Structure 1
């Protein structure tokens, strides 16, 4: 039965997690702000009178979309019941209607983008209101953050704050600009030094040869996450083949519907996207062809690696990419699932924890032999 039910991308369909009831508290809804996501989605965010829930002070909580906002019947000034969903994510559950005074005000959804003033749209049956302006500065910044982040190219040193700083300083405006950055430019910025600048540029250089799956996920195409990116990469195997595909080609892939197929065609036929891809190629970005079938599963299948300390012979990004190419996984924290702890220079507390758990610790040279370097 379990085999017949199968699994979703992150969990089996035949099991459900049992959770304790979430911690809750009441507070006041002070305001609703509207954020712009990388795909233009407008997300209402509740601004709350700070309240302590489960040892954490909660000041803001997402309201997801206009439909959810209306369904809950929230008004400005309401006393609201708030919880941390899964004891992690703040969530406004409902208004406390008995506490209403008549002074509360309705929440008004914007009709123009709060960042670029472009008229907002809501397409078909979608629950999301969007800014359709491809030049919207908020979308551009969030797209860059996604590209460099862990769900994208995973470029160390270019996290959210760093990307926002680089955009505000005029050093990057789009994805190709990332590959023009130089050590001297970064080292002169507030909060940066020679070492951090060198590390960031080294990580950027190490990201110039991504797998097709990683590259597609990093682009932030609407409806295309990591799993869909892997499906597309295995089917088309190379970026040039993917660029030649039409809607019918996408619809032949199991699991891809009309909405996703249309989104892919719209994205890759956009002249601005074509120009961006051309610029990336001219800057030395070479998207690798995907291996077919059994070739994808390498000799590290079933192995989980954790790094502690700095590597001398390759960047952390290159090491992670090689592990994934060979079928292995990379952990972000210590656990008994880790099969190999790779010891670099100046290791941190992970080494002590690894030894306490009896995990296998290997040197960088041993790691290089494992990955065939």
Structure 2
């Protein structure tokens, strides 16, 4: 169920992400989108071995649109993780204290400010002059909107007293009054009517003609910074004050809080003012005030550990459940989906919702504990739909008083609705899975969709619809068939792509070129693209980093087939790889060796990006054991990886260094038996030059 949920989250949120960032025409509200990402994060936290590269935690924004130049950000523009309850906020602050090993009596200030619902923008100044401006894009590369930004009155063109290099980040937005006036003018001129202020602001900034932008009433709030040649201050609040002194608009509701109750009181106060602010916000952002602490906490793959967005509640609605359908995913998971009488929830028409699995429908969780007071869900029920927490809305509850007399308990099918193969629920698993494998059309198609998804090969022009069409007509049956499309359906062939309905000579050639461009692929992306169960974005990157090259990884997968081999011991010693993921990897490479090797032969697989090489632990495999007294295990691991070390979970012959704190047991003994160097925490900190 978790794997299926993550796959569905990745697919639909990817489309929603493009619609929001590239087309300025969102298909989900901002509140829903962020809440769906929170749902994804919760699943990933529970099942880290299932993390996908194309999940909402893995992508930021969208690729820059055509028509704009591209600017690579000197420092990535990150997203934020989300909190939806007071407990989430309490847990966030408690997590910071645990990471930094700060007791409850140690002061820990945070800042709070409204989360503006607009378009993220990065401004780069050099020697006090605005050099260029870029949208977030995909977090790495954004659209060059410099000419348009120069028309905005609230953004300074020059600065006095600023660092030589300064990247200022903030949000472009439009006030409610300006939005209404703009739409009135648009209607009078027969032009496009914008759905909301965020769309209007994004569309206005992303105009190819700067004069159109000049005529639009865009505003700006600065709230962060990227690269700087000198620190702005020692604290977040000091840095915001510095930006304000330099001439940037900052939000007047920004404040500093010393306790969680103060944060929650600020949240309540801002929420109470929401309707009267005159611009859209969708939550409150909390950030750790001490910048030295921020540095220690560092970053996850796409979000900082020291900040979180406390979102406003999503809306609820009641509607009738008209049916339950079964969808089959690429790993064979059967997932029930509710078909609802369409209802508007927070401005979006909802017609279906996830039902998770058969236990959820029966009114119990994965441990058998009753949920919804044990009430099962039946076709015909009136259900409460919650628009924040899943790829499609989820059902929170039902009204037993309105249940029709004809409603009967629902039964999960024991055969796949797509291919008729038995659907088996293994002990300990929460979902049934089709046993048909690649003979199951749903699994075959979903696997191909996964292969070309954003975080995998991301082939321009080859999306889900094209994959379904090509598979249905027998043009592609496996991933490697994609890379022979030009040979089979290109110029000079009896059947040509250009003659296919919806295609032409130019679009066909563009697809062939896009496929050829993606033959060069980073190792981590390829590992993820293979669609191996339990191997997601994090684990794919982790495996790529550990083995370094495709040849080394492929050789290890062959050698590790023997569970007594050194290669197997090395595989399960990788921090984050357990027996379940290891077995999934080995099973896939054993069953599909010929297919995988044939695919790899068509590709230029790039080695994993090297980490730091100038540290004393770069390239070394280290293991932590026992109790660390001067930093938490999470901080120690993060710091070691930042210095280029590989952190393993167990000691093996390939371990270079064991850092042993008080209470070290079997790992220390094994290290001694293998002749692995053992040092204590103080020696470790001295080795890496940490105070």
Indicate which of 36, 44, 47 corresponds to 2:328: 36
Indicate which of 220, 231, 244 corresponds to 2:555: 244
Q: Which residue in the other structure is 1:225 paired with? A: 536
Q: Which residue in the other structure is 2:476 paired with? A: 172
For residues 594 and 590 of structure 2, the distance between their equivalents in structure 1, rounded to whole angstroms, comes to 10
281 and 151 in structure 1: CA distance in 2 versus 1, 3 angstrom threshold:
closer
Q: Which residue in the other structure is 2:463 paired with? A: 159
For residues 48 and 39 of structure 1, the distance between their equivalents in structure 2, rounded to whole angstroms, comes to 26
Indicate which of 509, 512, 535 corresponds to 1:201: 512
For residues 421 and 342 of structure 2, the distance between their equivalents in structure 1, rounded to whole angstroms, comes to 33
2:419 and 2:441 in contact (8 A); partners too: yes
Alpha-carbon deviation of 1:63?
1.1
For residues 36 and 222 of structure 1, the distance between their equivalents in structure 2, rounded to whole angstroms, comes to 14
Secondary structure at 1:113's aligned position in 2?
coil
2:354 and 2:390 in contact (8 A); partners too: no
Q: Note the aligned Cα RMSD (angstroms).
A: 2.3
Alpha-carbon deviation of 1:168?
1.2
Matched, 1:256 2:573: no
Secondary structure at 1:205's aligned position in 2?
helix
Secondary structure at 1:75's aligned position in 2?
coil
Secondary structure at 2:511's aligned position in 1?
helix
Indicate which of 491, 500, 505 corresponds to 1:189: 500
Which structure is higher in RCO with an 8 Å CA cutoff and minimum separation 6? 2
211 and 194 in structure 1: CA distance in 2 versus 1, 3 angstrom threshold:
same
For residues 411 and 308 of structure 2, the distance between their equivalents in structure 1, rounded to whole angstroms, comes to 37
Secondary structure at 2:311's aligned position in 1?
coil
Give structure 1 stretches of 5+ with no counterpart: 296-373
For residues 203 and 148 of structure 1, the distance between their equivalents in structure 2, rounded to whole angstroms, comes to 11
Give structure 2 stretches of 5+ with no counterpart: 1-96, 102-296, 364-371, 561-567, 614-691
1:98-137 equivalence runs, <5 A: 98-135=401-438, 136-137=440-441
Secondary structure at 1:106's aligned position in 2?
coil
67 and 13 in structure 1: CA distance in 2 versus 1, 3 angstrom threshold:
farther
> 1:237-256: per-residue Cα shift (whole Å, max 9, x none)?
12232223324222110111
For residues 143 and 198 of structure 1, the distance between their equivalents in structure 2, rounded to whole angstroms, comes to 25
Q: When the two structures are aligned, how many residues end up with a matched partner?
A: 293
2:457 and 2:529 in contact (8 A); partners too: yes
Once structures 1 and 2 are overlaid, which stretch shifts more, 100-109 or 230-239? 100-109
Q: Which residue in the other structure is 1:351 paired with? A: none
Indicate which of 42, 56, 63 corresponds to 2:355: 63
Q: Which residue in the other structure is 1:274 paired with? A: 593
Alpha-carbon deviation of 1:8?
5.8
Alpha-carbon deviation of 1:14?
6.5
Alpha-carbon deviation of 1:4?
4.0
Q: Normalising by the residue count of structure 1, what TM-score does the alignment of the two structures yield?
A: 0.73
Indicate which of 526, 532, 536 corresponds to 1:215: 526
Secondary structure at 1:166's aligned position in 2?
helix
253 and 88 in structure 1: CA distance in 2 versus 1, 3 angstrom threshold:
closer
1:135-146 equivalence runs, <5 A: 135=438, 136-146=440-450
For the pair shown, which has the larger CA radius of gyration, 1 or 2?
2
2:544 and 2:608 in contact (8 A); partners too: yes
> 1:34-72: per-residue Cα shift (whole Å, max 9, x none)?
001111111100011111111111111111222222225
> 1:296-345: per-residue Cα shift (whole Å, max 9, x none)?
xxxxxxxxxxxxxxxxxxxxxxxxxxxxxxxxxxxxxxxxxxxxxxxxxx
9 and 89 in structure 1: CA distance in 2 versus 1, 3 angstrom threshold:
farther
Alpha-carbon deviation of 1:278?
2.5
1:28 and 1:49 in contact (8 A); partners too: yes
62 and 8 in structure 1: CA distance in 2 versus 1, 3 angstrom threshold:
farther
218 and 193 in structure 1: CA distance in 2 versus 1, 3 angstrom threshold:
same
Secondary structure at 1:43's aligned position in 2?
strand
Secondary structure at 2:423's aligned position in 1?
coil
2:424 and 2:432 in contact (8 A); partners too: yes
Secondary structure at 2:485's aligned position in 1?
coil
For residues 87 and 63 of structure 1, the distance between their equivalents in structure 2, rounded to whole angstroms, comes to 10
